[in-house]
Amino acid sequence: MLAEMSREEILQWLTENGWSPERQVGERCAEFISAAVEDSVGEGFPVTPFETAESFLASFGLLTLAHPTDSESRLVINPTGGYEGDFGEIAELSEELNRRLFRVGYDLPDGGIMLVAEDGGFYCLHHAGSFSLGNGAYEFFRNWVRGDLRSV
């Protein structure tokens, strides 16, 4: 059952979707990070990448993770996935949380924008609101798989 997925099951799911503990795609992600920064400047809400975001993207970036029980759902780890104008919404949430945020991906088909904070908290901006997905990569992935999004 998804509600009971263990850490090992989440790690196995990640592995089945192309991830490994040794995976390092930081150099490949650098251009995507730069593009996201450029987009944010163009929208008038400049963001600056920070170590937490860069480390997450170096390990998980450029993966498309298929949901284990919903063949239509995907989690795409790429900071360039977003909507025109979403940096204004990211800035509002950042101010509300009093934390710097950086876009790290999106989900399909819902189109939620995935964000990470400097302190390792993960968040989702969605047309239905802003949600917390836990702290650290493991909780983020587990909560996304389980659909455990808590309103902020």
DSSP string across the chain: -GGG--HHHHHHHHHHTT--TT---HHHHHHHHHHHHHHHHHTT------HHHHHHHHHHTT-EEEPSS-TT-EEE--TT---TTHHHHHHHHHHHHTS-EEEEEEEETT-PEEEEETTSEEEEEETTEEEEEEEHHHHHHHHHHHT--EE-
- Domain residues for the domain of 57 are 2-151
Q: Count the domains in the chain.
A: 1
Residue 60 contacts residue 137 (beta carbons within 8 Å): yes
The pTM of this model reads: 0.94
pLDDT for position 91: 97
Q: Which parts of the chain have pLDDT scores under 70?
A: 1-3
